[in-house]
Homo-oligomer: A and B are copies of this chain.
Amino acid sequence: METKAQVLYDFTAEPGNNELSVREGETITITNQNIGGGWIEAKNSRGEVGLVPEDYIETPLITPDNYKSHIDQTDQHCFSEMATSLSTSNGNDPWAVFDSNASGGFSNNWAAQPEGTETGETSSSAWHSGGHGHPQAYQGPGAEDDEWDEEWDDVKTSGGYAESEAGEGGAINRGGAHGSSMKIALNKVLIAISFYMMRVRIYTVFQGGEAGPVWAYPDYQLDCVVADPKKGTKMYGLKSYIEYQVTPTTTNKPVNHRYKHFDWLYERLLDKYGSAIPIPCLPDKQVTGRFEEEFIKMRMERLQGWMTRMCRHPVVSSSEVFQLFLSYKDEKDWKMGKRKAEKDETVEVMIFSTIEPEGLPDLDLIEVEQKCEQFNRFTRAMDDGVKDLLTIGNEHWKRCTGPLPKEYQRIGKAFQNLSSVFNSSGYEGEATLTDALTAAGKTYEDIAQMVAEQPKKDLHFLMETNNEYKGLLGCFPDTIGVHKAAIEKVKEADKLVATGKITTSEKITMSKRASTMSYALQAEMNHFHSNRIYDYNRVMQQYLEQQGKFYEMIAEKLRHAHSQFTTM
């Protein structure tokens, strides 16, 4: 059966991939809906047939996700009188909501209708797909059987950190998705602290010396190695993908995962822990690297960084979904685990119901608010500092790979050129100068090359670490926003009691839960600080060591060049 469908967005076919270019508003005929991998086969009005991303066309397909979204939407109406739109957090600057007068803004918007409640924007599927945004040409993690691989199609010609900045657009988009998803998160906060009962208590926070509350850390530090990327093909060679080998230090048994699996894990972790723990974005699809190999290497390196960070987190690393990812047995087990994870209800702010501040006294609202403000100030200031360093590092990278080596090369050429002029003098004993002068010229050409290659050996890691932290810090506005919303709610408690909306006992429970959330935030901040100190110590050591070696090597080269000149 042939179905007509309208195209929602422009799509440009990649040559040689059996794809079909389509324009927004165009009507196409679906010729095969069972291609899979997020693709359908379609025919345009000119009779051309090819693959088009499913997401780009409007079809009346009913998926389990759509259904779930519908249910959520209905459910949501029960709490709509307490919802907040918090539209200020939807802009490009995720920090805007925390400007000095932001808490006033919170209160003012507190009782407003949630934006987009009517359109299903608050559904979890909206959360997953990043809201209303232009759907990227890949399927959301909810689509079980999509096999279209985004790894190849998103490789952009780029190089160095200059283009990484361009890639930042992608990161901002993800950040934007965070922003709009805040609407749901904040609605759920109200649910959590107002009505839900805490159920499973798993994650313990306890007083950890001067630092204050800390997570309970496992005795054995989980780690894993991401390595050995392998190219595979599917759909009779139409699509190719890369599988990375992930080997946990616990089992030492490697499992293979594609980028889309990492992405699925990321979405699950974000959904489950995002309110309490900043879950950094995966490396962006448009990462740097002019060539396929470079691109794959860079992505692998960043996936390694991401996995290491997740492994190090006591809450995340011990979670069922993370363990599932690390312990792939067979396809059946994996699919069962995926389904279970996707049905997990202890997600978003519900995560706080699983946290127990062991033997810690309840905090009063002022303390909770102070801690929250302190962390907000810190993460914001660090975000500025990190971005500043990235900007400077980026400029330095450009100089070190561009004009500086070019200049050393020109100096080298000038020496060699002068040497060859001298050689033409016909003067006896000329070689005592020209051999050394040529060698000095070559030395400067060598130095040019060393200078150009050095950033990959040191600046790269400094940039990567700071890029990682930029991503991590970008998650804090959401995490802290959840806390801010809870604080505002508790502030309203007296009024709610007075108007008979809640009981005094419920008010006390709300306050207690805000205290728990604060302990969780403190534990998370301490985790962040401890990791940060480790990471920056490590990366600075690495940077300075490599820089020192680099200058020492240049000095050595120059000493050698010097020794070839003769004093007469």
Contact = CB atoms under 8 A, between A and B. Distances in A.
> What's the dominant secondary structure at chain A's contact region?
helix
Interface string A481-508: 0000000000000000000000000000
A264 interface: no
Interface string A358-397: 0000000000000000100110011011101100110110
Interface in A433-459: 433, 436-437, 440
Contacts of A436: 537, 540
A62 interface: no
A81 interface: no
Interface stretch (A8-16, A166-174, A240-248, A556-564): A556-564
A191 interface: no
Nearest to A374: B426
A529 B429 CA distance: 10
A410 interface: yes
Contact of A396 (B382, B411, B566): B411
A228 B209 CA distance: 69
Given A433-B533, A533-B430, A540-B437, A382 B418 contact: yes
A541 interface: yes
A404 interface: yes
A381 B424 contact: yes
Given A378-B424, A407-B399, A432-B537, A558 B567 contact: no
Interface stretch (A51-59, A123-131, A545-553): A545-553
Interface residues of A, number: 70
Given A210-B428, A411-B392, A532 B404 contact: no
B414 A392 contact: yes
Interface string A188-213: 00000000000000000000011100
B558 A551 contact: yes
A379 to B, nearest CB: 10
Given A417-B385, A544-B562, A558-B547, A536 B433 contact: yes
A220 interface: no
Contacts of A568: 533-534, 537
A1 interface: no
Contacts of A407: 392, 395-396, 399
A-B complex: 8 closest residue pairs judged by Cβ atoms = A548-B558, A544-B562, A551-B555, A427-B529, A552-B555, A385-B418, A389-B414, A210-B428
28 contacts: A209-B428, A377-B424, A378-B421, A378-B425, A381-B424, A382-B421, A382-B422, A385-B418, A388-B417, A389-B415, A392-B407, A392-B410, A393-B414, A396-B411, A399-B403, A404-B404, A427-B530, A427-B533, A433-B533, A440-B544, A533-B568, A534-B568, A540-B565, A541-B567, A544-B558, A544-B565, A548-B562, A551-B554
